[in-house]
Structure 1
C-alpha cells in the first residue's frame, strides 16, 4: 500500500512494515499447507547444496535397494532349483546303489525314470525369474538349454548311448572315457547348452554376474548351466555339477539288464555313475551355500540402506521442512500483527498531510 506524498517518516515505515508482514504471512501460509520451507532451492538459501547432496544419497540408496530386491527374487528362485536338482541327484544315487548284477529287476524301471529326470533337469536349468533365466550368466534373456525337448538327440546324449551300447567285458574303461568325452565337450552343438555359454570369448570365460549392493561393492549372484559358479570342481571328472548330473542320468537311461554280462566292467560303469552323482550333490550344496552367503550380504546391505535412508531423510527434513506447530503459531502471530498494522495505517491515512506534520 502506498500513500501519495509520503516517502519517509512514520507512515512510510508503517507501509513498509505492513508489506513485509504480508509477505511473511504468505510464506507461512504456504508452509502450513505442504510443510516445506519453499518450492525452490533458493528458498533454503545456504542449505541448498546440502539438500541436493542428501537427496542424491537417498536416491542412490533407493536404486541399490531396488537392485537388491530384484537380485533376491532371482536367488530365491535359483535356490529352489538348486534344491530340486540336488534332490534328483540324491534320488538316483540311492537308486543306482540298489542295482547289482545279482538283481537286474530294477534296471528297466531305473532307466525309464532316468529319462524322465533328464527332462526335469533340462527344465530346471531353464528356470526363470520374470523374463530372466537364472542359469544363463550374462545372457539372461535367453535359455541356457535352447531345446530342452530335444536333449536326448544331442551328440552328448547319443554319444553316451552309443558308448553304453558297446559295453562288454574288458571295455568298461573305454566306455567311461567315451561318456566323459561326450559330457565334457565345449563344442557348440555337442551338448544341450547354448552357443553363448559354450563360446570361449563370451559365456565360457565371463566372470560370475553380481549385484551392485552399495557404491563400489558387488555381491556375486550369477549361476551357469554348463559350469560351476562358486563350487569347487576338484572332485568332478567333467568339471561341472550339471555335466556330472546329466552324464550320470544319461548313462542310467541307457542301461539294460543284458549289460550285466559285462561283469566287473558293468560294476565300474555303475560305480562311476554313483561317484558322479555324489560329486554333483556336493557341488550343488556348495553352490547353494555360496548363494546363501550372498543373500545374507544383500539382505544386510538392504537393511543398511533403509537405516541410512531414514537418517538422511531426517536430515533433509530439517533442511527442507518446517516445524508445523511453530509455523502455525508464527502465522497466527503474524496475522495479528498485520491486522494491527493495517488498522494503524488506516487511521493514519485518514489524516491530512498538514495534520500529520503538526
Structure 2
C-alpha cells in the first residue's frame, strides 16, 4: 500500500515537473536564440502583435534599397558620360584652334597637317562614343547592347560623301558646300557611321534615352544618346555631336581642295561658327547632366534617411533587448536548476515524506 501511494504521488508530481522542465528548456532555447541572433524571432509569426508592423516595414525598406541601387547605377553612368563628354569637348576645342590656324594660313603643309589631325580626331571620337559601362554602351540609349558607331567614322560612307562635297569647292561657292555637308551629316544611313537606331533626327534620338526608376513616380535619364539634340537649322544638324563629326570630316577632306580665294575663307569661317555652336551645345548637355547628378545626390541622401528611420523602426519591432534577455536567461537557468533539484529529491521520497 505504501509503495502504491508513493508511486502514485511521485508519478503525478514527476509528470508536472517534467512538463515544467520541457517548458523551461524551450524558453531557454528561445532566449539563447535571441541572444545569438539579436532578434526576437526568426519568423514573423513569432513576433506576436508586432508582426503586422514588421510585415509592412520590410517591403518598404526593400523598395528603398532598390531605388538607392538604381540611383547608384544612374550616377555611375552619368559620371562616365561626363568624363567622355569632357574628352569630346576637348576634340571640339582643338578643332577650333585648328580652324583658327587655317583661317590665317593657306599653305598646303598647314592644311595637310590639319587634315591628318582631323582624321585622327574622327577615330578618337568614334572610340569615345563607343564607351561602355559594363556591357552597356552609354551613348546608345535604349539599345544599350548595340554600339552607337560602326567602325571608324573617317572611313564611313558619310565621310566619303562629305569629301566629295568639299571637292566641289573649286566649282561652287562655300555656302553650298556648307549646306550640302550639313544635310549629309543630318541624314545618315544605318551604320554610316551611326547605328540603325541612332540614324534618326535629333529629337527622335532624344526620346531613346535610357530611363531608370529612382523613386515613387521618379524616373531618371541615365546619360545621353549620341545623336540627340534639337531641331535642325540652316547652320546645325541639331545634334552637337553630329555637327562636330561633320566639321572634322570637312577638315579631313581639305587636303585635296584649292585653298586660294574667298570660297576657302568663307568655308573656314562657316565651320568656325558651327563648331563654336557645337562646343556650346556640348557644354549645355554637360551642364544639364550636372544638375541631374546634384538632384540625384540629394534624392539618394533622402532615401538613406528614410531607410535608416524605417530600419530603426523595424528594429524596435524585431530586435531583442539583449540586456533583458541576459537577465531572463539567468532566471530561467535558476528555475531549471531548482526543478532538477526537486526531481532529484522526489526520487528518494516515501509516503511518510508526504505526512
Q: Is 1:213 equivalent to 2:214 in the alignment?
A: yes
In structure 2, the gaps of 5 or more residues are 1-5
Where does residue 144 of structure 1 map in the other structure? 148
Q: Return the match for 2:133 from 116, 129, 135.
A: 129
Q: Give the CA deviation at 1:102.
A: 5.5
Where does residue 27 of structure 1 map in the other structure? 30
Where does residue 184 of structure 1 map in the other structure? 186
Deviation digits for residues 122-171 of structure 1 (CA, Å, limit 9, x no counterpart): 111111111111100111111001223xx233332111101111102652
Where does residue 339 of structure 2 map in the other structure? 341
Which has a greater percent of helix? 2
Q: Is 1:71 equivalent to 2:68 in the alignment?
A: no
Where does residue 167 of structure 2 map in the other structure? 165
Where does residue 3 of structure 2 map in the other structure? none
Where does residue 247 of structure 2 map in the other structure? 248
Where does residue 94 of structure 2 map in the other structure? 91
Q: Give the CA deviation at 1:51.
A: 1.5
Could you say what the CA RMSD is over the residues aligned between the two structures, in angstroms? 2.9
Indicate conservation of the 8 Å contact 1:107/1:257, yes or no: no
Indicate conservation of the 8 Å contact 1:169/1:264, yes or no: no
Indicate conservation of the 8 Å contact 2:162/2:181, yes or no: yes
CA distance in 2, matches of 1:266, 1:9: 116
TM-score (norm 2): 0.87
Q: Is 1:53 equivalent to 2:56 in the alignment?
A: yes
Deviation digits for residues 200-246 of structure 1 (CA, Å, limit 9, x no counterpart): 8x974734222222122112223111223xx7877961110111101
Q: Give the CA deviation at 1:65.
A: 2.0
CA distance in 1, matches of 2:231, 2:286: 12
Deviation digits for residues 168-216 of structure 1 (CA, Å, limit 9, x no counterpart): 2652222122111111104435x3100122268x974734222222122
Indicate conservation of the 8 Å contact 2:187/2:200, yes or no: no
Q: Give the CA deviation at 1:15.
A: 5.9
Q: Is 1:111 equivalent to 2:115 in the alignment?
A: yes
Indicate conservation of the 8 Å contact 2:205/2:225, yes or no: no
Deviation digits for residues 87-123 of structure 1 (CA, Å, limit 9, x no counterpart): 1101111220122365425222111111111111111
CA distance in 2, matches of 1:88, 1:205: 23
Indicate conservation of the 8 Å contact 2:137/2:145, yes or no: yes
- For residue 301 of structure 2, give the secondary structure of its aligned residue in structure 1: helix
Indicate conservation of the 8 Å contact 1:107/1:256, yes or no: yes
- For residue 218 of structure 1, give the secondary structure of its aligned residue in structure 2: strand
Change (3 A) 1:87 1:65: same
CA distance in 1, matches of 2:54, 2:9: 44
TM-score (norm 1): 0.87
Where does residue 259 of structure 1 map in the other structure? 258
Change (3 A) 1:103 1:166: closer
Q: Give the CA deviation at 1:34.
A: 1.8
Q: Return the match for 1:325 from 320, 323, 326.
A: 323
Q: Give the CA deviation at 1:257.
A: 7.8
Count of residues in Structure 1 that have an aligned counterpart in Structure 2? 348
Q: Give the CA deviation at 1:14.
A: 5.9
Bigger mean CA offset, 309-318 vs 99-108: 99-108
In structure 1, the gaps of 5 or more residues are none
CA distance in 2, matches of 1:321, 1:170: 82
CA distance in 1, matches of 2:279, 2:198: 22
Where does residue 155 of structure 1 map in the other structure? 157
- For residue 219 of structure 1, give the secondary structure of its aligned residue in structure 2: strand
